[in-house]
Amino acid sequence: MKFSIHSRILFSALITLILFMSLTGLVLEKAFRNNVENAQREYLRTQIYTLLATAEINENNQLQLPQEITEPRLNISESGLHARVMTVSDKIVWQSKSMLNTKIPLPAKIKMGEFSFANKSQGENTYALVNFTTIWITDKGELAYIFQVAENKAVLNSQITLFQQNLWGWLAGVSFILIIIQTFILRWGLKPLRHVAEDLSKIEKGEAQKLSGEYPKEITPLTSNLNHLLDSSQQQLTRYRDALGNMAHSLKTPIAVLQGIIENISIKEKNTAAEQLTTINSIVEYQLQRAATMGRLKSTQAIALFPIAQKIIATLGKVYKDKRIESQLNISSMLNIKIDEGDLFELLGNLIENAFKWSNNKVLVSAETLDGQTQITIEDDGPGINKEQRDLILLRGQRADQSTPGHGLGLTMVNDMLLLYKGTMQITTSAMGGAKIIIKI
């Protein structure tokens, strides 16, 4: 499958943007999670310090903490924040009011004078735990206590979930805006290339002779070289046609001289020489016509079909005025065809002349545009062309009726022109009973 430059760049930018935004989202999400978890740990550590600051040894040498703590959440049942103090033998010395109906896992390892952090699950809840073990010196000796603060991670997870929703929503919105901006940038950046393609299309259709307009400096060398190539080809074509015309003119004079000379020789030799001279003349005309046709460029301008067909019919009507042929022309005045004007005269002239030559009294010429091609149809009410002869008469010098004057080169030259313009010719039977020739260009 072929992709345009615009599609390739836009697709690459889209993939790059998706990967970049995905990595950015994952990094930001990870950073936010770490920051929230670190903030939670610092918060729990602060609560440990608060408990240590309020703890004291009473007269019975027992650790004592106040019933009400400065942190309001510790005084509210099932608030999600819990605290307690235990001995190393897991005996609870004190616990916050929020511990009511709440169970917190016991610390797994105890390291004196160090904070330990862990995530523990208890039923459907997951807690972030902070443990700190310290020693109190009393009259009875040293007493070890474990201060433990836990917070339900549901609060933390809800914050992370809300951040994820906002983060990916914003990233999707920004990505969409960036894609739209990138599309407009690409269209603006590739606009000169589209202008080049449009100008080339106009040249191909015959609506222009060269690339026009101002182009960026990156493609100016390309457009300049194309214009130079078009100018050079046109100049070469002009010189080639001039040379062909000169050669044709030069050949006609010697042939005319030879025709004058053969009048003074014997009848038998005269007939033989005239026949050979006619053959030479036919071959020269055919080869010159073919060479001129082969030299045509595809950059010819589109021309109106109706005036040329009308002019040919008017001329042939005078030539065959004795036959009183009724001609009909069904061609729109807006129909244009991209072909050299001389080739069009030659092509239609041969076909319409054959129709006038073989018709009884009716000739129909019509044209229309079908599937991007121009279809020209020439019909007559003459004897028509047999199926066996249709392929034969396309050969050079072959004629359907040897008694009719001519060299049999007309349809062959028409066929050669159609090959040059990638056209086709079809010979069938007309509804009027004669020949029907359909050409498509």
Q: What is the pLDDT of residues 144-186, one digit of tens each?
A: 888 989 888 887 888 888 988 998 999 899 988 988 888 888 8
Is the model's pLDDT at 377 over the cut of 90?
Answer: yes
How many domains would you assign to the chain?
3
Residues of the chain with pLDDT > 90, as a percent, come to 9
Alpha-carbon gap, residue 217 to 428, rounded angstroms = 55
Sign, CA torsion 97/98/104/110: negative
Alpha-carbon gap, residue 179 to 254, rounded angstroms = 75
Q: What is the pLDDT of residues 295-339, one digit of tens each?
A: 554 446 788 999 999 999 988 888 888 888 888 999 998 899 888
- Whichever domain contains 401, its CATH number is 3.30.565.10
Q: What single DSSP character describes residue 117?
A: E
Mean pLDDT within 21-36? 90
Same domain, 133 and 154: yes
Report residue 387 as tokens: 């199926």
Identify the domain containing residue 149 by its residue range. Answer: 27-159
DSSP for 369-400, written as a single string: EETTEEEEEEEESSS---HHHHTGGGSTT--S
Instruction: Look at residue 189 and tell me if it is in a domain.
Output: no
Whether 149 and 104 have beta carbons less than 8 Å apart is answered as: no
Instruction: Look at residue 5 and tell me if it is in a domain.
Output: no
pLDDT (0 to 100) of residue 401: 45
User: Mean pLDDT lowest for which of 7-11, 187-191, 248-252, 295-299?
Assistant: 295-299
3-state class (DSSP) for residue 10: helix
Whether 119 and 176 have beta carbons less than 8 Å apart is answered as: no
Report residue 199 as tokens: 């100008």
- Whichever domain contains 36, its CATH number is 3.30.450
Whether 307 and 274 have beta carbons less than 8 Å apart is answered as: no
Dmax of the chain from CA atoms? 163
Contacts of 150 (CB under 8 A, 6+ apart): 44, 81, 82, 83, 104, 120, 127, 128, 129, 130
Same domain, 346 and 384: yes
Same domain, 243 and 321: no
- For residue 271, count other CB atoms closer than 10 A to its CB: 12
Nearest to 301 by CA among 334, 337, 333: 337
Q: What is the pLDDT of residues 203-254, one digit of tens each?
A: 777 777 777 777 777 777 877 888 888 777 777 777 666 666 666 665 665 6
Instruction: Look at residue 248 and tell me if it is in a domain.
Output: yes
Instruction: Look at residue 261 and tell me if it is in a domain.
Output: yes
Q: Which of 134, 159, 184 is the last residue of a domain?
A: 159
Same domain, 281 and 313: no
Task: Give the HSE-up count for residue 158: Cα atoms under 13 Å, Cβ half-sphere.
Answer: 4
Instruction: Look at residue 353 and tell me if it is in a domain.
Output: yes
Alpha-carbon gap, residue 359 to 83, rounded angstroms = 116
Mean pLDDT within 72-88? 85
3-state class (DSSP) for residue 15: helix
Contacts of 232 (CB under 8 A, 6+ apart): none
Q: Quickly tell me which residue has 């805006």 as its tokens.
A: 177
- For residue 80, count other CB atoms closer than 10 A to its CB: 17
Q: Given pLDDT bands bounded at 50, 70 and 90, which one contains residue 368?
A: very high
Q: Which of 115, 144, 159 is the last residue of a domain?
A: 159
Higher pLDDT, 214 or 81: 81
pLDDT (0 to 100) of residue 427: 87
- For residue 151, count other CB atoms closer than 10 A to its CB: 22
Report residue 393 as tokens: 């008469």
Instruction: Look at residue 180 and tell me if it is in a domain.
Output: no
Nearest to 148 by CA among 51, 57, 42: 51
Mean pLDDT of the chain: 79
Q: Given pLDDT bands bounded at 50, 70 and 90, which one contains residue 340?
A: confident
Same domain, 150 and 228: no
Q: Which of 159, 177, 193 is the last residue of a domain?
A: 159
Instruction: Look at residue 77 and tell me if it is in a domain.
Output: yes
H-state helical runs in 262-303: 267-294
Mean pLDDT within 42-50? 89
Instruction: Look at residue 349 and tell me if it is in a domain.
Output: yes
